[in-house]
Structure 1
Amino acid sequence: MSDAIERLAAHLVETSFERMSPDAITAAKTFILDTFGVAIAGTTGPHVPELISTAKGWGSDATASVWGSRERLPAPHAAMVNAYQAHNSEFDAIHEAAVIHPLASILASVLAVAERDGGITGRDLLTAAVLGVDVSCSIGMASTETLKFFRPATAGSFGAVAALARVREFDVEKTIDALGIQLGQIGGTMQVHEEGSPLLGMQLGFCTRSAVMSSDMAVAGISGARRILEGDYGYFALFEGGSDIESGFAGLCEDWRICDVSHKPFPSGRATHGVIDGILTLRERHAIDASEVAAVRAFVPPLVHQLTGRPMIADPGVNYARLCIPYVGAVALQRGAVGIADFQSARLRDQGTAALASRIMVEIQDVGDPNALVPQRIEIEMTDGTIHAVDMAEVIGSPAKPLSRERHLEKFRENWKSGAIALVGDRGEQLIELVDRLEDVEDCCEIAKLLVP
């Protein structure tokens, strides 16, 4: 009996670099560089030192770099740490329709294997990134239910396995084996999202580690499940609850999913960005002083409310605050921006911010799509009774409202300077230049060398 995974495996194996559109290649370069910058900033994330120290006890085959660090680990564990660093600040790019952060796991796994095994070129990496995003995001787009498991870890890791299959030149059967093995390893609960736990980002790291292992096991000749997506106990039945394969796979081989990935201009959950964007728009348009705001009401789709409609609490943890519309909305009103420093302990405990956040209310408006992040409506009521409102059909950073290259590079450079260990500034500029000509780079290890002190 056939399974939809066969279509994805054939697409992965048979699609050449030359077939990809110039826009897809440009988008891939943009989000590859963005992910590296975010991962460097993520070296300051919760429990990074503890995670590295623990992973060092799991093996001595130190074949791959931990980005932004002098440490080296076995490839699967380096991939785990690097993927976690790329996601722990909620600053990495997202495919909104799929609700997946696809690049973190793809880049962490491919670079770890590139360092360990060699023989992977920049063109290989570009091709694998575009096709890996096609795989994971087509799966995510095919879901018809709201998130129960953490999809960036579960479906997202299929993209990492796919990217590894591509750079390791698997045929269709071996690709399916690797993906089938991965089905037996994936996991990730939304409970830690609800609680604002650092384990949320670690789950993406765990599944990325498993992606390297699944690929290695397929190389060794180990077989995997076959009805990976549509089986009675396959991905959709167990992890999603409902699917529409034809809808999710529509346009495959013609429309490149990488072109629909969104930049994240703020280091908070993407579901908060519409409200932040709307508040900043109104703040500038009407010269709003935060001290004169009586209330803010955000009318958002159900998924946005589920992910980030949580109330403000006393002394929130950093992960809770990144996923809290009232907190980031209050910061946007006060400062006219939301940045990395806004999630430091002193800022999180600021009583003025907490008081303003308590006046921000998040309400559900049904839009008929369980995975939609827009449209949204933001209303700001002033103490004199005036109400300012804006309707957000698109969110800044989306393909319909993209960041300029100047702002993209500004974000990268700021992240590059924000790591736990200072990296040579010139290396950041070298990385920009290298990614711009990535299709001509002979060895991906050149990238890894620039990502460490």
Structure 2
Amino acid sequence: MSHTPDAIKLLVKHIENSTYQNLPASTVAASKTFILDSIGVGISGSRVPNVAKIKQAVSQWGSGHQAQVWGTGEWLPAVSAAAINGYQIHNQEWDCVHEPAVVHPMAVILSALMAYAQQHNLSGQQLILGVVIAVDVATLIGESVTSSLKFFRPSLCGCLGATAGMCAMQGIKGETLQNALGIAYSQLSGTMQSHVEGSPMLAMQIGINAAAAIRAVDMAQAGFAGPKDILQGPYGYFTLFEESFDLSPLVQKVGREYQIERVSHKPFPTGRAGHGTIDGLQQLQKQHAFTAQDIARVDVYGTPLINKLVGRPVKQDMDANYAKLCNGYIAASVLLTGSVSVADFESDCLKDPRRLALGAKVHTHLNDTQDPNALAPVSVAVTLISGAKYKVALQHVLGSPQNPLDEDAQLAKFSAACASAGSYFDQHNIGFLIKRIDQLDQIPNINSLVEALVSNR
């Protein structure tokens, strides 16, 4: 009889044994890259009107001077700041993703870790270590799942990862660490219903789980006990939230391959499942110089997950949340403007009859991929009114580790994100912030980074 590995024990050992000093230079560099990226999209997310509603609700939950809201700088209890910042990171679908895990690894994690680091005056090195460990825990759990999304994996795995990361930052070990993970597990939330409906709660599930992770660490440090067998127990994560799993990725990679180095950028503010459509259409348009007016139809052949996440039809009265996850709308935007930006989801664009008519010409089909969690390959075929047909097949979509954004493109995305914020960031502010994050390992107190995230410093 073969021995079944104990996943939670392997992860606990990894959390306890990891130190900043032992991280490879490439891992530290990757963590800075995705901290920068996530801060940029989180600052941009301050522009979304729903942020004001969340701030109004959160104001009923107590006041405090522990951590700040990105972009605007209000001081709040750490849990409240984490909830708002988590929502801001994910509310435009512009945050990075670990494709094999189908987990947005930085949204819950960075919002929770930064708020906690502010509250406890932790250093840049502690934040980097926390991020690396948190991303490992979140993505290795996610990558071990062999069934399709049912619950919202980014919020669930993100919460467990964030809890692990805060414990790593503070050197919390043993029973307290195990309790923290168990208490976090007991609070996990988020389903795919919000995704299907295009509800703004999808991104708020990120914020709720960021706050839950901080609560879990606080309760564990107060000596409160949580359940321990939270992954493989009869009602553990793999049994309760997922249909089937295989622990090989976790067993093979934990402590050997840092997953922050396997994360994909999202060059465009749409679901990652729509990025192949954009990448393919940009390539075809560049090659063959057709315009939106020339299009008879567009056919996208994608994996089961691409069809599930963005195969929805264009419809009248879409809101931005729905449109960002609609292949037809995404395709129409890139055909009309050459790219996709946050401006494409303003209400006048969403109502534009030209976009809606063009979007209706886009059809998403299944390719022969069997893996329910794969986001590639994808191919895009264009048929012109003239009868001409063009097709491109993509094994690796732009932004993935195999087809990465270069540094100039990363910084251009960051600058565009900051410039699109609800409050004004000028080039000086943006440059200062880039430099701060570049020197993150030398910052003794994370508060001196967060002060640079406030537009009116």
| Same fold per superposition (TM over 0.5) | yes
| Structure 2 counterparts to residues 166-181 of structure 1, below 5 A | 166-181=168-183
Cα shift readout 1:32-90 (whole Å, capped 9, x = no counterpart): 00111100110012410010111011012232111111422111111011011011010
Segments of structure 1 that go 5 or more residues without pairing to the other structure are: none
Are the counterparts in 1 of residues 333 and 340 from structure 2 also a CA contact under 8 Å?
Answer: yes
| Structure 2 counterparts to residues 15-414 of structure 1, below 5 A | 15-118=18-121, 120-414=122-416
Structure 1 position 450, deviation (Å): 0.9
Give, in whole Å, the separation in 1 of the partners of 2:193 and 2:238: 19
SS at match of 1:379: strand
Are the counterparts in 1 of residues 18 and 168 from structure 2 also a CA contact under 8 Å?
Answer: no
Cα shift readout 1:337-363 (whole Å, capped 9, x = no counterpart): 111100000011110111010010001
Structure 1 position 272, deviation (Å): 0.3
Give, in whole Å, the separation in 2 of the partners of 1:57 and 1:425: 36
RMSD of equivalent CA atoms: 1.3
Give, in whole Å, the separation in 2 of the partners of 1:179 and 1:96: 24
Are the counterparts in 1 of residues 304 and 370 from structure 2 also a CA contact under 8 Å?
Answer: no
Give, in whole Å, the separation in 2 of the partners of 1:261 and 1:2: 26
Query: What is the letter of the counterpart of residue 286 of structure 1?
Result: H
Aligned residues: 452
Are the counterparts in 1 of residues 7 and 250 from structure 2 also a CA contact under 8 Å?
Answer: no
Matched, 1:5 2:8: yes
Structure 1 position 2, deviation (Å): 8.2
Cα shift readout 1:350-400 (whole Å, capped 9, x = no counterpart): 101110100100011231211101111110001121110010100000111
Query: What is the letter of the counterpart of residue 85 of structure 1?
Result: Q
Query: What is the letter of the counterpart of residue 37 of structure 1?
Result: G
Query: What is the letter of the counterpart of residue 199 of structure 1?
Result: M
Structure 1 position 251, deviation (Å): 1.9
Are the counterparts in 1 of residues 68 and 76 from structure 2 also a CA contact under 8 Å?
Answer: yes
Query: What is the letter of the counterpart of residue 150 of structure 1?
Result: F
SS at match of 2:339: coil
Give, in whole Å, the separation in 2 of the partners of 1:285 and 1:92: 29
Structure 1 position 424, deviation (Å): 4.9
Query: What is the letter of the counterpart of residue 35 of structure 1?
Result: S
Cα shift readout 1:106-152 (whole Å, capped 9, x = no counterpart): 2211221222222x111111111111100000000001111000000
CA 1:19–1:425 in structure 2 vs 1: closer, same or farther (change >3 Å)? same
Structure 1 position 172, deviation (Å): 3.2
Are the counterparts in 2 of residues 83 and 204 from structure 1 also a CA contact under 8 Å?
Answer: yes
Give, in whole Å, the separation in 1 of the partners of 2:436 and 2:16: 26
Equivalent position of 1:426 in the other structure: 428
Query: What is the letter of the counterpart of residue 158 of structure 2?
Result: G
Query: What is the letter of the counterpart of residue 396 of structure 2?
Result: E
Task: Could you list the structure 1 runs, at least 4 aligned residues long, displaced by more than 4 angstroms after superposition.
Answer: none
SS at match of 1:254: coil
Query: What is the letter of the counterpart of residue 296 of structure 1?
Result: V
Are the counterparts in 2 of residues 3 and 226 from structure 1 also a CA contact under 8 Å?
Answer: no
Query: What is the letter of the counterpart of residue 279 of structure 1?
Result: L
Segments of structure 2 that go 5 or more residues without pairing to the other structure are: none
Return 238-247 or 25-34, whichever deviates more: 238-247
Cα shift readout 1:277-336 (whole Å, capped 9, x = no counterpart): 001111111111111110000010001111111000012100000000100111111111
Are the counterparts in 1 of residues 195 and 202 from structure 2 also a CA contact under 8 Å?
Answer: yes
Are the counterparts in 2 of residues 140 and 248 from structure 1 also a CA contact under 8 Å?
Answer: no
Are the counterparts in 2 of residues 6 and 176 from structure 1 also a CA contact under 8 Å?
Answer: no
Alignment identity in percent? 39
SS at match of 2:268: coil
Return 104-113 or 51-60, whichever deviates more: 104-113
Cα shift readout 1:199-235 (whole Å, capped 9, x = no counterpart): 1000011011100000100110111111110011011
SS at match of 1:250: helix
Are the counterparts in 2 of residues 46 and 198 from structure 1 also a CA contact under 8 Å?
Answer: no
Give, in whole Å, the separation in 2 of the partners of 1:249 and 1:57: 44
TM-score normalised by structure 1 residue count? 0.98
TM-score normalised by structure 2 residue count? 0.97
Return 423-432 or 381-390, whichever deviates more: 423-432
Query: What is the letter of the counterpart of residue 102 of structure 1?
Result: P
